A and B are shown apart, each in its own frame.
Chain A
Amino acid sequence: MRNPDYPMRKILIQFVHPARSRSKINNTLRAAVEGLDGVTINDLYATYPDFLIDVQREQQLCEEHDAIIFQHPLYWYSTPSIMKEWLDLVLEHGWAYGSQASLLKGKLFLQAITAGGDDSTYRKDGYNEFSLRELISPYRATAKLCNMVWLPPFAVLGIHRGLPEEEIKMHGEDYRRMVIGLRDGTLDIEQGRKEDYLNNDLHAIIRRP
């Protein structure tokens, strides 16, 4: 059941992975949300293998949805390169930002990030010295400039091929729950914004029907 206070949100998942044939976790996450009502998956590398991004199409997709999720592996403490190209081209002045622009206003912005290093390495005293939230601050700033509502990342950390199948499955389940929660408005946005990672404790922020 949907929360009557919130209308149903349409969710756009920008899937950003260069080689699905070599992906484990991102494929699983994707499979978990594929076919959901009100959820559109847009595979950037598959659609634009030559990086020739169709700006108009992308802008229209954004306009048609209420929440934009960038799902990607962490590559060099950042995103795979096509996502940078996407931001550079699609977020045009006058459309995404600037005094006249209001087309992205109020839409949710969130990253679903998978990474090799686990949580303990993403700390000031950890091996990678910076927290994930610090590392993705450019995207947070981007969301703010575009008047979007930024949410902490859905993070799946410490990923490697040796992980037991159940654990991976579980991440898929969480992802699905989060996406549905966002879609149906059962996920408490205000509460979620206080977390480090949106999936720290999904039970706490998703209201039961």
Chain B
Amino acid sequence: MEHFLLQLFIFLAAAAIAVPIAKKLGLGSVLGYLIAGIIIGPFGLSLIADIEEVMHFTEFGVVMMLFLVGLELKPSLLWQMRTPIVGMGGLQVALSSVLISGFSLLYLPWQQAVAVGIILSLSSTAIVLQTLREKGLMNTSPGRSIFSVLLFQDLAVIPMLAVLPLLATIAMLDDGHHGSIFFDISSLPGYLRILVTLLAISSIFLLGKFAGRPMFRTIAATRVREIFVAAALALVVGISLLMTAVGLSPALGTFLAGVVLADSEYRHELESDIEPFKGLLLGIFFISIGASLNFTLIGEEILLIAGLSIALIGLKWLVLVVTGFLFKMAKKERSLFAIALAQGGEFAFVLFQFSRTNGVLPAQTIEPLISAVAISMFLAPLLFLAHDKFIAGPHGAEDVQREADTIDHGEHRVILAGFGRLGTDLGRFLISAGIKPVILDHDAANVDILRKFGFEVYYGDITRLDLLEAAGADEAELLIVTIGDKDKASELVELVQKHYPHLKIAANAADRSAAYQLMDLGITVIRRETFGSALSLGQESLKLLGVDPYEAYRLKRIFRKKDEEMMPELYRMHREDEDQYISMYQKHNIDLEELMRLDQNADTEELDKAWTAKNPEM
């Protein structure tokens, strides 16, 4: 136990030190982790052991990452992307495999060359997606192309696992190791195997579509947050197990589950619950990649490994450029696309391992290749940096950003916190004006009903920073606070002012004192909840009493304007001098009465005289 904690401490501390430094230097978090790994690894301070074990375990971060990616991709969007996924992805994997295999053929027998080719055609989902997200490029058009290719690669791992054993040339002792701890489906006849696989996939669909929401609703109703987190984790882990059992990629399974749940109101809650786990696991995963760089081997075979790394990146880059060309990408997009995917991926580690145990590739072939993959992964974030600096130029990044805006279509410019009676009408109003707010509410039953009416409402406690983040507080422009609980509202406002100072805030206040409380926080756009309807009712009442409709309307407007104008002064009084406040309040009301009487009884007699004075007979 102590040993475990010590190891954990070393990993976490290394990350906590290295990542901020790397970010400060503009290197991005992935490089920070990788460097931290080298430093604490066997060739640095030698602080950690069992690197392979750690790497294996933390690979799960990739699975979680794909779940999160899935959550952001609605099925309709995925369907729209089918051409780039199959087209670009397929082309990239095929061309890379052929080219690298051909190149390897110079040194290796054909079976081994083919194995090396297909394994190295894969890129690093973990590094690339993490970097794209950090740069905010996920929703840009190159971002989507890159993602499509990565998704296809994840799919391609499945047939690769099936094909690799067929390439075996080395006699192996059967170590009795099989894919699954539950049952081994490879012992089933072919048709049953397909059946089981299909069953597994459709069960994910059905689970997500029908069981997911009622389950999360019940859990949300308990309002015990950990249970929600536990359920979310259980979902991801459970699906991974199921996928592994039927011999599919767990990442693919959770990705599918994510897509199915992308339409549900629990999307943001799930996102914010899984996110920290994913972040930590991936971080440690990157550290272990850094730590696994075998510098002894690299030192001994420096020329070979350097050559391999360069050839790997070069060949993949070439294929990507060609792919981009064939798919008519713009020049800037193509260059980012090619740079982003020109590295080996974490799946290569898995597949090389798999090839060795299956007698496809000998250890002495694998060792330098693994080093080359690790080096290429290490270079990936650096290539991104170089791309930003030299190729994209100062304007390049901007171009890409602007594209993102059009794709987002201003969809998430507004976060609406609280969707009670007031929020509902407000939401309807905004939607009718063409602004689609992200709506968050804490009442699971309420969320459910409103969803039935077609609102895009999400469940969650808006005063949680991670949920705000998941709701897109980073990119949003405006936060509208309509939660009834005024302390909760203040809490939210303070949180937002601290972490998202760019967000404009408009707030509803239940009454005068709630308004004052918001004014304490410097909010200026405040509407008192019942004020508007009180005045409207007043206007109608005046009309019923025979006051001219236009007059009644004007009186309402005047009252409202004056009342709002005196708010700041009353507020000051309220805070400074309670006693004077009341007399001040009364005085203001008298002033107002006077003012309104004036407006109504403009002296008609005098006015008549003025206009008729010049009539000759007057």
Question: What is the interface of chain A, defined by CB distance below 8 A to chain B?
Answer: 18-22, 45-47, 49-50, 115-118, 120-121, 127-128, 158-162
Contacts and interface: CB of A to CB of B under 8 A. Distances in A.
A127 B554 CA distance: 34
23 contacts: A18-B548, A18-B551, A19-B548, A21-B551, A45-B548, A45-B550, A46-B548, A47-B549, A49-B554, A50-B553, A116-B608, A117-B611, A117-B614, A118-B616, A118-B617, A121-B616, A128-B614, A158-B612, A159-B612, A160-B608, A161-B605, A161-B608, A162-B608
Contacts of B605: 161
Contacts of B551: 18-19, 21
Interface in B277-296: none
B550 A49 contact: yes
A49 B552 contact: yes
Given A116-B608, A160-B608, A161-B608, A127 B552 contact: no
A121 B550 contact: no
Contacts of A162: 608
Contacts of B614: 117, 121, 127-128
Nearest to A20: B548
Contact of A116 (B550, B611, B617): B611
B512 interface: no
The secondary-structure label for the interface of chain B is helix
B533 interface: no
Contacts of B611: 115-117, 160
B547 interface: yes
Give 10 closest A-B pairs by Cβ, nearest first: A116-B611, A49-B553, A127-B614, A160-B608, A45-B550, A118-B615, A49-B550, A46-B549, A49-B549, A160-B612
Name the residue among B602, B605, B610, B614 with the largest chain A CB count within 10 angstroms: B614
Contacts of A47: 549
Contacts of B548: 18-21, 45-46
B433 to A, nearest CB: 16
Contacts of A118: 612, 615-617
Contacts of B615: 116-118, 120-121, 158
Given A18-B550, A46-B548, A160-B609, 7 more contacts: A19-B550, A47-B549, A49-B549, A121-B614, A158-B612, A158-B615, A161-B605
A121 B615 CA distance: 6
B520 to A, nearest CB: 34
B545 to A, nearest CB: 11
Contacts of B609: 160
A72 to B, nearest CB: 13
Interface string B588-612: 0000000000000010110011111
A120 B616 contact: yes
Interface residues of B, number: 21
A120 B616 CA distance: 7
Contacts of A116: 608, 610-612, 615
Interface string B546-572: 111111111000000000000000000
Contacts of A50: 553
Nearest to A128: B614
A46 B548 CA distance: 7
Contacts of A115: 611
A110 B612 CA distance: 24
B559 to A, nearest CB: 15
B63 to A, nearest CB: 56
A164 to B, nearest CB: 14
A45 B554 CA distance: 11
A107 B616 CA distance: 38
A22 B604 contact: yes
A47 to B, nearest CB: 8
Name the residue among B612, B614, B617 with the largest chain A CB count within 10 angstroms: B612
B599 to A, nearest CB: 10
Contacts of B552: 49
Contacts of B547: 21
A127 B617 CA distance: 13
Interface string B357-370: 00000000000000
B581 to A, nearest CB: 34
Nearest to A19: B548
A120 B614 CA distance: 9
A127 B549 CA distance: 35
A161 B605 CA distance: 7
Nearest to A73: B611
Contact of A161 (B554, B604, B610, B617): B604
Nearest to B552: A49
A117 B549 contact: no
A153 to B, nearest CB: 17
Name the residue among A21, A49, A50, A118 with the largest chain B CB count within 10 angstroms: A49
Contacts of B602: 22
A176 B44 CA distance: 106
Interface string B430-451: 0000000000000000000000
Nearest to B601: A22
A4 to B, nearest CB: 42
A128 B612 CA distance: 11
Contacts of A158: 612, 615
Contacts of A18: 548, 550-551
A46 B547 CA distance: 10
Contacts of B546: 21
Interface string B519-555: 0000000000000000000000000001111111110
A181 B177 CA distance: 108
Name the residue among B546, B547, B553 with the largest chain A CB count within 10 angstroms: B553
A50 B608 CA distance: 26
Contacts of A161: 604-605, 608
Contacts of A121: 614-616
A73 B615 CA distance: 17
A173 B615 CA distance: 24
Interface string B45-82: 00000000000000000000000000000000000000
A20 B612 CA distance: 20
A130 B547 CA distance: 36
Contacts of B549: 45-47, 49
Nearest to A74: B611
A46 B549 CA distance: 5
A121 B611 CA distance: 11
A206 B501 CA distance: 75
Nearest to A44: B550
